[in-house]
Amino acid sequence: MAERKPAGRLYGVGLGPGDPELVTVKAARLVGAADVIAYHCARHGRSIARRIAEPYVRAGQIEEKLVYPVTTETTDHPGGYQGAIDEFYTAAAARLATHLDAGRDVVVLCEGDPFFYGSYLHMHKRLADRYPTEVVPGVTSVSAAAAELGRPLAERDEVLTILPGTLPPAELARRLADTDTAAVVKLGRTFAGVRAALAAAGRLDDAWYVEKATTDQQRTASLSTVDPADVPYFSLALLPSGRPEAPKKAGVVVVGLGPAGQPWLTPETRAALAEADDLVGYGPYLDRVPPNPHQTRHPSDNRVEAERAAVALKLAASGRQVAVVSSGDPGVFAMATAVLEVACEPHFAGVPVRVLPGVTAAQAVASRIGAPLGHDYCVLSLSDRLKPWSVVEQRLAAAAEADLVVAIYNPGSRSRTHQVTAARDVLLKHRNPDTPVVIGRDVGGAGESVRVVRLADLQSSDVDMRTLLIVGSSRTRAVQRGGETVVFTPRRYPE
C-alpha cells in the first residue's frame, strides 16, 4: 500500500506596497521555492501582487489565478454580492486544498500585509485549521505612504487610527476628530465621502493623498486639491504626526453628556472634553468621562451650582480651558444657567462662555417608548427647592388645561415624597384618568426601566431622582404593537 504523501504547506505572503525591492527576504525565498503560486485578480486577469512578485517567480511553478466573479458591479447571484463573493472564496479555497492534499506547498500572494485588509485572510479562515500554515508579514501601504511623504505616522503618546473609507462619512468624521493621526484606506469611489468627513472633522487642511505608493505610478498631493474622478482604489488619505495645534483659547464650555454613557455624547461635546485643561462638575457626572492624565478634575456636591460655576470661571480667567459637565442637556435644569448667572458678575466679564447641547432625559425616555413628545409639549420640574410649590401647581394646571404633553423632571427624592401624588391630583382635574403616563428610570444606564401606567394609578413609590415622567395629552395613545406598548402623540389635531 502506497504511503500517503504529507500535506503541503500554506503560506500567506505579504509583498509590500508595490516596489519589488520592499519584498522581505523571507517572502522572496518562499515565492521562489513554492510549488504553487496563487493570487487574486479581477476578470481582466491582471494582479498587482503577481507583478510585485515577478522578480522572484521561477519557471515551472503552477500558477492559480483566483478570479473574482464580481468587483464593484452588480450580480444576479441569489445571495447578492456577498453571496457571490462567499461562494467564490469557498471554491477558491477548494482549489488550493487540492494542491495541498497532493503535497504541494502553496504561496498566496498578497500586496501589502496579508492580515491588513488582505485578500489572503479569506483563504486563511477556510484552510488554516486543516493544513500547516504560515503568514509572512509585509510592509503596509500606510507605512509606505508615510515614508514617501517623509512624515512620521505617530510619535510619543500619539494615537494612530486606521479607518476604511467605506464607513459612513459621519462615523468617519467622529473618529477622525477623536484621534491624533490617521490613515483612511479603500478610497476610490469612497473618496468624496472621506473628503467630506475630513472637512467635518476640521482635518482637511492637514490631510495628504497618496496613490500607488512606492511604484512608478505613485502620486502624492494635498488631499484638498485632488479630483474625486481621478482616485483609484489603491490610494489612501493620511493625517501624519505633527498636527499643528491651534492655540488654546481660555474660556468655559458647558457641555451635556446626555442621560448616561459615551454613546449619548455628540461629536462636538467629545471634542470639547478632549481639549479641556480642567473638568468641573458633580462628581458622578465627571465619573462618566474617561480619565485623561493631562486634565485636572474638580468634583463637587450636587447642591453647590453657583460655587461650581465660580470655580470654572476663575480657572478660565487664569488662562485655562474649562469644561463644565452636566448630564442631559446643560440648558435644561442644569449647569448652563448657573454658569451664565455667575459669568454676569463684573469681574468675569472678559471670560468667554459657550454652551453645547446634549440629549435630554425627556428625549431619551420618549425614544424608548415611541413618540409621546410628537406634538406640543412642555417641560416642568417638580422640585420646590428653588421655587414655591404654589408656582409648580399653577404651572401644572396651566399645562394640563392647555392640553400639552408634560415632561416632568425631578419628580421625587428621599426628602421630597408628596410631589408626585399632588401633581397627579392637579392633572386629574383636567385629564382623563386613563391618560398614559410614561415612567422612565435610568434610561441609558444599567438600571434602565420604562413602563406605562394610567394617570389615576401614578404613585409616589413609582419615582426617584433618576426618574422622568411623561404625561400624555388628550390625544396621546398607548397601543400594543408586536407584544410591546408603544406611546405616541399624533401631530394632527382635530379641527
Distance of alpha carbon 200 from alpha carbon 173, whole angstroms = 6
* 74 confidence band (pLDDT: 50, 70, 90): low
Give which of 274, 203, 270 is closest to 243, Cα–Cα: 203
Distance of alpha carbon 373 from alpha carbon 377, whole angstroms = 6
- Rounded to 10 degrees, what is the CA torsion of 450, 455, 456, 460? 60
Looking at residue 1, its pLDDT comes to 47
44 burial via Cβ count (<10 Å: 0-12, 13-18, 19+): exposed
Give which of 177, 97, 185 is closest to 141, Cα–Cα: 185
Give which of 153, 176, 152 is closest to 163, Cα–Cα: 176
Looking at residue 274, its pLDDT comes to 85
429 has a pLDDT exceeding 60: yes
Place of cell 510549488: 35
- Phi, psi angles (nearest 5°) of residue 457: -100, 0
Give which of 214, 208, 261, 212 is closest to 237, Cα–Cα: 208
Amino acid at 265: L
Distance of alpha carbon 53 from alpha carbon 50, whole angstroms = 5
Question: What average pLDDT does the structure give for the chain?
Answer: 90
Across 145-174, average pLDDT: 93
Which run of H or E residues covers position 315? Answer: helix 305-317
Count other C-beta atoms under 10 Å from residue 389's C-beta. 15
Across 309-337, average pLDDT: 92
- By residue count, the chain amounts to 495
The percent of residues in the chain predicted with pLDDT above 90, rounded, is 69
Q: Tell me how many degrees the CA angle 340-346-350 measures, rounded to the nearest 5.
A: 70
Looking at residue 304, its pLDDT comes to 85
CA 1 to chain CA centroid, nearest Å: 61
Give which of 108, 136, 132 is closest to 122, Cα–Cα: 108
Looking at residue 99, its pLDDT comes to 97
Across 429-454, average pLDDT: 91
- Phi, psi angles (nearest 5°) of residue 268: -65, -40
What is the grid cell recorded at 116?
A: 491588513
What is the grid cell recorded at 316?
A: 478660565
Which run of H or E residues covers position 423? Answer: helix 419-428
Q: Tell me how many degrees the CA angle 306-310-315 measures, rounded to the nearest 5.
A: 155
What is the grid cell recorded at 257?
A: 453628556
Which run of H or E residues covers position 62? Answer: strand 62-67
In angstroms, the Cα distances linking 324 to 39, 259, 372 are 56, 16, 31
Distance of alpha carbon 342 from alpha carbon 312, whole angstroms = 10
Residue 110's beta-bridge partner residues?
Answer: 14
**E-only strand ranges, 444-495:** 449-454, 467-471, 477-481, 484-488
Q: In what order do the strands lie in the sheet with 36-41?
A: 62-67, 36-41, 106-110, 10-14, 133-136
What is the grid cell recorded at 356?
A: 453645547
195 has a pLDDT exceeding 60: yes
For residue range 241-292, list pLDDT tens digits in order: 875 555 567 899 999 998 877 788 888 888 888 889 999 999 888 988 888 8
For residue range 22-62, list pLDDT tens digits in order: 999 999 999 999 999 999 998 888 899 999 999 999 999 99
Looking at residue 293, its pLDDT comes to 78
pTM above 0.85, yes or no: no
Q: How many CA atoms lie within 13 A of 267 on its CB side?
A: 15
Across 322-342, average pLDDT: 92
Looking at residue 414, its pLDDT comes to 72
Looking at residue 44, its pLDDT comes to 85
Q: Tell me how many degrees the CA angle 446-453-495 measures, rounded to the nearest 5.
A: 120
Across 84-113, average pLDDT: 94
For residue range 352-402, list pLDDT tens digits in order: 999 999 999 999 999 999 999 999 999 999 888 788 989 999 999 999 999
Domains defined for the chain, CATH in brackets: 10-138 (3.40.1010.10), 143-239 (3.30.950.10), 251-355 (3.40.1010.10), 361-488 (3.30.950.10)
State the DSSP code for 233. S
Most distant CA pair in the chain, distance: 101
Angle between helices 191-200 and 169-178 (to 10 degrees): 50
Looking at residue 214, its pLDDT comes to 93
How would you label 60-92 residue by residue, b for 16+ Cβ within 10 Å and e otherwise?
Answer: eeeebebeeeeeeeeeebeeeeeebbeebbeeb
Looking at residue 49, its pLDDT comes to 93
Looking at residue 32, its pLDDT comes to 96
Q: Which sign does the torsion angle of CA 77, 81, 84, 87 carry?
A: negative
Distance of alpha carbon 141 from alpha carbon 139, whole angstroms = 7
